[in-house]
Structure 1
Amino acid sequence: MTPEQLSTAIVDVLTTLVDQGALTLPDGVPASVTVERPRQKGHGDYATNVALQLAKKAGTNPRALGELIKAGLEGYAGVAGVELAGPGFLNIAVDAGAQGRLAADIVAAGDAYGHTDTLAGQRINVEFISANPTGPLHLGHTRWAVLGDAIGRVLSAAGADVTREFYINDRGVQMNHFAASIIAAATGRPTPENGYAGAYIDDLAKAVGAAVPGIFDLPEPERLAAVRAKGYELQLKEQQQQLDSFNTHFDVWFSELSLHESGSVPETLKRLEELGHVYELDGALWMRTTDFGDDKDRVLIKSDGELTYFASDTAYYLNKRARGFDHCIYLLGADHHGYVGRLKAMAACVGDDPEQTLDVLIGQLVKIMRDGAELRLSKRAGTIVTLTELAEEIGVDALRYSLARYPADSPLTLDVAEITKASNENPVYYVQYAHARTSAMMRNAADLGMSLPGDAFDPALLSHERDGQLLRALAEFPRVVAAAAELREPHRVARYLEDTASVFNKWYDTKECRMLPQGDEPVGPLNLARLVLVVATRTVLANGLGLLGVTAPERM
């Protein structure tokens, strides 16, 4: 029996009490109530403080209301007993059969277990990398490549229609500097001022020349334009390949330049003028963002006629809304902390409620240490270590999991030796090994001719205390996923997996909970029931790792 099922049962009891006139709730019966695993052993399988929450509204005291709910729940199928404790807490014990059925339900659900409809009907855009197409992706992009992707995965699991979007910063003078750097490398000249250096520029020069023979012999400015276009194409393709190999995939690669070429920016400025949120001062055009809590108004067009990045940002937001997204999530680096207020004010200026349509998450910096020194230099880029080099040094799974298990707003220092160690002290190894252990148990069962019992499964046989602990841990998974999606905190999934792996290992080490028959013992119903529990555990571990973009190995 899951917390959600108990919540439904309590709502049913409250509804019955109201219908019978035994209880009055002016605000109506809540759609759901909070049911949690108790912190202290001996307080039942689940606990709820619903009587404390509703007593005042109901015009009674918590213990009196608790007694009414207790009486109703005690007759509910699957509830073994209810204890009223303290000022009005309800500790609930469920019978083994009701609890054990969850294992079969998880196996039947398979990949879908953990998915909910809590965000069903919502169209959400997650923009989590914004980069110039002028070089390889680097450490600064790596954390968002993990967290943005994981946020997208948990949002999808919670029922939302999610689009993952990469914003290409392909407008501005840096693109000309990029092209000039490639030309210099191809023609044997020094890197120009404000240009790009590194072995990757040399490689690009060779690739551009091979793709378009004679391109470097073209006259200016035709040569600059041609090299810029081809270099852009090849470098963007490499960024896409970098991310694909890192198990991060985007649905949309959106060009900043396209906003200007399509006329979206002038249309945006016109809309802002119509809404009365722009004004001219000192020859520049300003957006009146201070009307909506920003610390200062923002320039849209400078006095020299040049558009600002904020003008592009505003047009881009409206473009997303025009594409039908109900909610836009931005994942920005620590140096963009000041953007939170201005983006929310911008959304308000265009007529939206930013609390409903906009989330801005700020991520802190990551340091990667090796042998006591910070990894800084790149063999290829010449400046900062690239995403590909990090993945090769650490491993995709170890790097993704290590970045996913911490909140985005916490500064992070990771040691290469620690996060690649094949030890239970390494969280990713610990969780992956638990999954590999369940896979090995399933192989051993198959060698003995054991298979899932189907309709012959007797859930009441999973009555050992350790069986119950493992079942209750597995039951929490959908709620953890829903919370991770609602709060945009995928680290909750990682920490849950570690806790669940610990519960499973304790179950595995309990002699009374052996799945395989010992010696010459025949395979019995209890062995098969525990096989169902092992497969259910394997399912949850695999699904959770999948939400983090981490593999679930069958052997380690």
Structure 2
Amino acid sequence: MKPEELASLIHAQLLAAVEDGALPETLREELSDDRVRVERPRSREHGDWATNVAMQFAKKAGMNPREFAAVLAERVGAQEGVAKVDVAGPGFLNITLDAAAAGQLARQIVEAGEAYGRNDALAGHVVNMEFVSANPTGPLHIGHTRWAALGDAITRLLRASGADVTAEYYVNDAGNQMNVFADSVLARLHGREVPEGGYPGQYVQDLADQVAKDHPDVLDLTDEAARPVVREAAYELQMQDIKDTLTAFDVHFDVFTSERRLHDTGAIGQAVERLREQGHVEEREGAVWLKTTAFGDDKDRVLIRANGEPTYFAADAAYYLDKRDRGFTEKVYLLGADHHGYVGRLKAIAAAAGDDPAQNIEILIGQLISVNGAKLSKRAGNIIELKDLVEWLGRDALRYDLARYPADSPITIDPELLRSATNDNPVFYVQYAHARACNAAETAAAHDVDRSAFDASLLTHPTEGELLAQLAEFPSVVGMAARLREPHRIARHLEVVAGAYHSWYAACRIVPAPEQDGTRGAVQDVNRTRLWLNDATAQVLRNGLDLLGVSAPAKM
């Protein structure tokens, strides 16, 4: 029995109690919404599941919570699949399922396959997820690594919970930085040092060499004539390098939106006028301002400078309105640790546009990461490149480690740990559990143990009850992680599942034990049923790792 099935059972018994007068009619309206929730008690001695519905509805019923709980306990305890129900504390219901009801989950998971854990908690939500958005003036580095891993994992979680999600990369390809980038490549093209404040690193020379190869005529042009050609060619090459790096990290975007397009299409000017129509724009000191202090920002922001040039903030406003016009009711921004100042101004843009900053925009700020022993990139010169980290630590280890901590906590990655094949290494621990389950299935097949029979009532060992309970939790963990944008909940739960599996594997045999004469005992239904549980565990581990963008190897 799944947790949601038990919750529905409890809800049905509440309605039945109202129907026959055991609970007052005043509850009917309250019960029109299914607000029953079950959760795992802190101690397994208190049962498989617990609910606080008695305390939730007792006041409305005009009853003492324990009295309310007693009415419900008798009814729920009489239902098929429920072994017993105890009333505890101020009115908690502690529910123990019979072995058959609990064990049915193993078969349900195997039959659901990749769909197990997916839910519709966020169905109807249309979300724009913007993350990474590194400047196209250099390679992706350690500062982008965390949001690449977390942003992609959050996107996967939202989709698994029914949301319609577009993963988007905002390309900052406008402004003076692009001129500095072009001048750096142009200098290398002619064998000169990059100008002061330019971009260092071997990658600039590599770009210059490729530009010369693709556009040999540019060498005969003056710097002024060559600059736009070099800027565009180097930009395209660098963006391709960024895309290739993301693909190698198994991070995929649906849309790459150009800041330059906002300038070229007049979207920025149109955004200013739209905000003016809302009554939030004023002109002073020769510039055009958005009155963001009216929406909680620490100061008003300039949209158009006195010289007529739009600010970066104006592009932010146009970009927000562009997302809004494309139908995204929820806009999620994943920004780096140095972007705390953007929270107030972006929320002010949302409010000025007529949106609810509490509902229509969400800004997540990630803290810094460091890697013990990491060396600066020889190619980039002054940064640690993402591609170097992947080559050194491995994609799986890096993605998993970045995903298992909350975004707002700083991380120091321990390379020796992540490269070790020990149980102290979390990604190895979880992947090994999956590989072990795959190997157990192969061994079972070699000894004629198959899934031709299933008797859930045979899964009575304490380790089986614990493993089943953890597998049952997976869908709710997925839903919670999606709602809170916290992939680390998935990683931590997978580690618990792996631990429960290892304990079960040590205590319960899938293949019959050998007899004294060396022959194997006869295959029984308990062996076949345990194979279902083994394969269900592998499926949950596989589904969870996929949500983190981490592979589930069959062998290690």
- Matched AA of 1:434: A
Q: 2:358 aligns with which of 337, 355, 373?
A: 355
Q: Deviations over 1:237-292 (max 9, x none)?
A: 00000010011111111111111111111111111111100111111111111111
Aligned residue in 2 for 1:28:
30
- Matched AA of 1:150: A
Deviation at 1:25, TM superposition (A): 2.2
- Matched AA of 2:478: V
Following the alignment from structure 1 to structure 2, what is the Cα–Cα distance between the partners of residues 261 and 228? 16
- Matched AA of 1:249: H
SS in 2 for 1:382: coil
Q: In the alignment, is residue 167 of structure 1 matched against residue 170 of structure 2?
A: yes
Deviation at 1:133, TM superposition (A): 0.8
- Matched AA of 2:501: F
Deviation at 1:18, TM superposition (A): 2.4
SS in 2 for 1:131: coil
**8 Å contact 1:435–1:552 — kept in the other structure?**
yes
Following the alignment from structure 1 to structure 2, what is the Cα–Cα distance between the partners of residues 222 and 300? 31
- Matched AA of 2:456: P
Q: Deviations over 1:320-358 (max 9, x none)?
A: 111111211000011111211221121010001121111
SS in 2 for 1:132: coil
Q: Where do 5+ consecutive residues of structure 2 fail to align?
A: 515-519
**8 Å contact 2:449–2:511 — kept in the other structure?**
no
Following the alignment from structure 1 to structure 2, what is the Cα–Cα distance between the partners of residues 34 and 192? 63
Deviation at 1:57, TM superposition (A): 2.1
Aligned residue in 2 for 1:392:
391
Following the alignment from structure 2 to structure 1, what is the Cα–Cα distance between the partners of residues 428 and 202? 35
Aligned residue in 2 for 1:448:
447
Deviation at 1:154, TM superposition (A): 0.3
Q: 2:371 aligns with which of 368, 371, 378?
A: 368
Aligned residue in 2 for 1:7:
7
**8 Å contact 1:334–1:364 — kept in the other structure?**
yes
Following the alignment from structure 2 to structure 1, what is the Cα–Cα distance between the partners of residues 66 and 531? 42
SS in 2 for 1:540: helix
Q: In the alignment, is residue 517 of structure 1 matched against residue 512 of structure 2?
A: yes
Deviation at 1:56, TM superposition (A): 1.5
- Matched AA of 2:42: R
Aligned residue in 2 for 1:490:
487
Deviation at 1:205, TM superposition (A): 1.0
Q: In the alignment, is residue 552 of structure 1 matched against residue 552 of structure 2?
A: yes
Q: Which moved more, 1:284-293 or 1:484-493?
A: 284-293
Deviation at 1:524, TM superposition (A): 1.1
Aligned residue in 2 for 1:532:
532
Following the alignment from structure 1 to structure 2, what is the Cα–Cα distance between the partners of residues 296 and 57? 47
SS in 2 for 1:192: coil
SS in 1 for 2:185: helix
SS in 2 for 1:130: coil
Provide TM-score, normalisation by structure 2: 0.97
- Matched AA of 1:110: G
Alignment of 1:214-293 (within 5 A): 214-293=217-296
Q: Deviations over 1:465-514 (max 9, x none)?
A: 2111111100000000000000000100000001111111111111xx21
Following the alignment from structure 1 to structure 2, what is the Cα–Cα distance between the partners of residues 40 and 428? 27
- Matched AA of 2:459: L
**8 Å contact 1:26–1:58 — kept in the other structure?**
no
Aligned residue in 2 for 1:439:
438
Q: Deviations over 1:423-478 (max 9, x none)?
A: 1011111001101100110111121232222xx31111112221111111000000
SS in 1 for 2:469: helix
Following the alignment from structure 2 to structure 1, what is the Cα–Cα distance between the partners of residues 144 and 457? 50
Q: 1:481 aligns with which of 475, 478, 481?
A: 478
**8 Å contact 2:186–2:223 — kept in the other structure?**
no
**8 Å contact 1:133–1:235 — kept in the other structure?**
yes
Aligned residue in 2 for 1:457:
454
- Matched AA of 1:28: E
Q: In the alignment, is residue 99 of structure 1 matched against residue 102 of structure 2?
A: yes
Following the alignment from structure 2 to structure 1, what is the Cα–Cα distance between the partners of residues 83 and 288? 70
Aligned residue in 2 for 1:201:
204
Q: Deviations over 1:350-402 (max 9, x none)?
A: 001121111100000001112xxxx3521110001100011111111111111
Following the alignment from structure 2 to structure 1, what is the Cα–Cα distance between the partners of residues 543 and 480? 16
Displaced runs of 4 or more, over 3 A: none
Following the alignment from structure 2 to structure 1, what is the Cα–Cα distance between the partners of residues 8 and 194? 68
Following the alignment from structure 2 to structure 1, what is the Cα–Cα distance between the partners of residues 472 and 307? 61
Following the alignment from structure 2 to structure 1, what is the Cα–Cα distance between the partners of residues 78 and 171? 60
Q: 1:506 aligns with which of 485, 495, 503?
A: 503
Q: Where do 5+ consecutive residues of structure 1 fail to align?
A: none
Following the alignment from structure 2 to structure 1, what is the Cα–Cα distance between the partners of residues 88 and 140? 56
Following the alignment from structure 1 to structure 2, what is the Cα–Cα distance between the partners of residues 183 and 40? 67
Aligned residue in 1 for 2:517:
none
Following the alignment from structure 2 to structure 1, what is the Cα–Cα distance between the partners of residues 200 and 186? 12
Q: 1:189 aligns with which of 166, 187, 192?
A: 192
Deviation at 1:301, TM superposition (A): 1.2
Q: In the alignment, is residue 49 of structure 1 matched against residue 52 of structure 2?
A: yes
